[in-house]
Amino acid sequence: CILLNKIFRLIFLFLIFPFVHAQVTELSNLFGQIESPNFPVPYDDNLDLTWRITAPTGYQVLLYFSHFDIEDSYDADLGGSCVYDYVQINEEKYCGKNSPSTSTNYIRSTDNLMTVKFVSDYSNEEPRPLGFRAHYVVDDIDECAEMEYAARYTTEDWDEVIYCNHHCINVPGSYYCTCRPGFILHANQHTCTVAACQDQVLTESSGIVTSPDYPNPYSKLTDCDWLIEVQDGLSLNVSFDRNFNIEDHFNYSYCPYDNLKLSYGSHQSTHCGNDVPFNGRWTALNTRILRMNFHTDYAIEKSGFKMTYDSIRIRCLNRPILEHGVVNFPNSNPFSEFEDEVSFQCNTGYELNGENVITCQSDGSWSSQPPTCTIISCGRPTKLEAVPNSRIMEWERHFSTHEIATLECNEWYELVSGSTIWTCNEAKQWVVLLTGFEDNVLPQCKPICGRKNGDSFISAHVSNGVVSEQYEWPWMTFINFGYRPNVVGVQSCGGALIGEKHVLTAAHCVTDRAFQPDGKRYPNNTHVWLGVHDREQDYLNSSTSARSFQVERVIRHPNYNKRTLDSDVALLQLTEPVAMNNVRRPICLPDTDADFQRLQVSARGEFAGWGKSHFLKMPSYLLREGSSHVVSAATCMQAFREQSKKKKITLSDSISITQNMFCAGSRFGTDSSTCNGDSGGPFMLKDEATKLYYVNGLVSFGLSSSLCGKLESYSVFAKLTPDIVDWIKQEISD
């Protein structure tokens, strides 16, 4: 039943209210009263009345009710209380019998306008309400009190509240702000800022700097600058009062609101809160200039700061020290001041480098860098350091007078001349220490020659001989001819490394009729390989030790005869020196009479190469080795004549065994023999005393490649006679 009653009343309201006419009354008197129609008789139904009370600018409207009787109502579905009849003031609705104000408790407008609205619905129950009577009066607004209240009690966006921070004067209809002496009113007409605090220059030797009106709260929106500059040669000494209080921020340490900035020398610092600069102690800044900036925003004011300063003589903070010497200071002070002079003296055996007296200058720096004491020395032994293939031992020494520098040859090198022990004399020169050596002649380190890797017994021969141990013969050289280096090239010869930049081979290897006018091959068509063992693997795998070297010069012996192959000796000069190691080292050249006499009939020599194999009928990829005995020239020539008859080979009239040749081989094929591709390879004899190998000959020619390794197989070698060896040494030295 109650629900049906509500629905009926709502429908009736919508039907009746379109016929209610709103009425607005404008009031502008300084006082007056308003009341419901017919008051104190019950008011009519379907009323919608509005009173607009307007006061002059700077004033407000006060309103109180002497009588109040409006139908009370509450309906949650329609918005709560006062849904039928009500009085509405400043968006607030009132109904019932309780007056919203009294003669001592006014309703106040927020500005100079107050709107009062009265609404009644279509009916009222008995006893019918009488309505209301209200009184209004225009009153001056106390803007000062309102701003003070807002500044004190506003919690949200409090830093945006504008108020008079010094004095507020309330006048009828308005107000104005004034400032304390020494301050001026900011452009916002509310905030008092200090009158003149920018670009202040202080040149006295002592004084006091404070925030504006210290210790009273400093002003807002302030930017004060001080430049304190004392005379040349003096330094500022400062102290901050411990009553230091500048607005800070609880979340940020970089002082984003109010702050004091100090700048002196290379130092800069920013302070706020209770962070007293220099902990409130007297501090020597050691500079004659101090810049200060005090900045405040619009919000909180604190007591600020006070700084006292005076001047002392500027100090040179970096006290000089002298290693291996003595520093003489002018007094016993633990510091040096402006115009102080300091002298230096080195200990015995050392010499002074730099000024022996320096002065503390007016800017706190020394007139020059302190000197140093260096041990009297010959300096680095640069000439000894430049000796190739060597190093200086005891390098951590200072190489002072009477100290020693010892030179040592690198691994795979040996000393061949000169002294390795040198000393620094009193004339600051490096000289040979031991007697018996020529003065100022530098030592020489040359590659160790003839040292074989391993020492296995050789029983087979190159043609069908056994494979050499890897890198067993570190001087063995593979030479290919063509437009590019090719370790598997078929047009090839052998050779032997005899020095850092020279390879020994047969002259006929570097001779070809295609090369005019004398048939000597061009260097760029001649390619030297060292560190080769298995040519096929060296070709396929770039990480092996095999390496090619460019040839700079091809040098044939001047007496080489292309027809008879006499003096069949040649040198290949490389464009760069070979770095000696375990797989690349030279063989020895014969030098003494014993070295040359070792080559005689029945002497057993060894050789190696990648020449043609009798069984495989093709050059070997693997380095093979063999040995053979030296035979007489007559034996060799007799064997050539017999074999040529048996094999029906025409023996050339030019074939002869000259004084610059020798022959090796076997009548019954028990020795090894050389074959095609072995040409130029070394015939090696071993010194049993030193175990070193010497190259006494080079593979030159044989009767026929079809006889390699067979019965009565002999090979002819170019002999390294004393004259030929002298020629080789001369070419190498040139």
Binding region for Ca(2+): 71, 85, 121, 123, 140, 143, 170, 247, 258, 297
| Beta bridge partners of residue 273, listed in sequence order | 246
Sequence-distant (6+) residues with CB within 8 A of 155 are: none
| Beta bridge partners of residue 312, listed in sequence order | 235
Going from the C-alpha of 415 to that of each of 168, 410, 496, the distances in angstroms are 104, 10, 22
Given phi > 0 = left and psi -120 to 50 = alpha, else beta, which region is 681? beta
Name the DSSP class of 383.
Answer: H
Name the DSSP class of 520.
Answer: B
For 181-334, strand residue ranges (E) read: 183-185, 192-194, 200-202, 207-210, 223-229, 234-240, 259-264, 267-271, 283-284, 289-295, 306-313, 315-316, 325-328
Look up residue 533 and give its two tokens.
């063992």
508, 527, 533, 557: the active-site residue: 508
CA 503 – CA 532 distance, rounded (Å):
15
Name the DSSP class of 473.
Answer: S
CA 550 – CA 374 distance, rounded (Å):
48
CA 362 – CA 355 distance, rounded (Å):
19
Closest alpha carbon to 309 in 296, 292, 294: 292
Strands 200-202 and 223-229, bridge-based pairing: parallel
Sign of CA dihedral 551, 554, 557, 560: positive
Residue whose pair of structure tokens reads 């900036």 in the numeric block: 293
* For residue 172, cis peptide bond before it (omega within 30 degrees of 0): no
Look up residue 350 and give its two tokens.
């050392």
**Burial class of residue 203 (count of CB atoms within 10 Å of its CB; 0-12, 13-18, 19+):** exposed
Residue ranges at the known binding site: 71, 85, 121, 123, 140, 143, 170, 247, 258, 297
| Beta bridge partners of residue 234, listed in sequence order | 313
Look up residue 527 and give its two tokens.
């390619």
Closest alpha carbon to 544 in 449, 620, 470: 470
CA 116 – CA 202 distance, rounded (Å):
65
Backbone angles phi, psi at 409, to 5 degrees: -70, 145
In the Cβ-directed half-sphere of 513, how many Cα atoms lie within 13 Å? 2
Contact 289, 231 (CB under 8 A): no
Look up residue 8 and give its two tokens.
């009926």
DSSP 126-169: SSPP-EEEEEEEEEE--HHHHHHHHHHH--SSGGG----SSEEE
419, 679, 713, 715: the active-site residue: 679
340, 568, 671, 678: the active-site residue: 568
CA 308 – CA 327 distance, rounded (Å):
37
C-alpha angle 383/384/386, rounded to 5°?
65
In the Cβ-directed half-sphere of 162, how many Cα atoms lie within 13 Å? 9
Look up residue 198 and give its two tokens.
């920018």
Establish whether 508 is a catalytic residue.
Answer: yes
Please give the biggest Cα pair distance in the chain: 170
Look up residue 349 and give its two tokens.
């055996």
CA 479 – CA 510 distance, rounded (Å):
10
Which residues are known catalytic residues?
A: 508, 568, 679
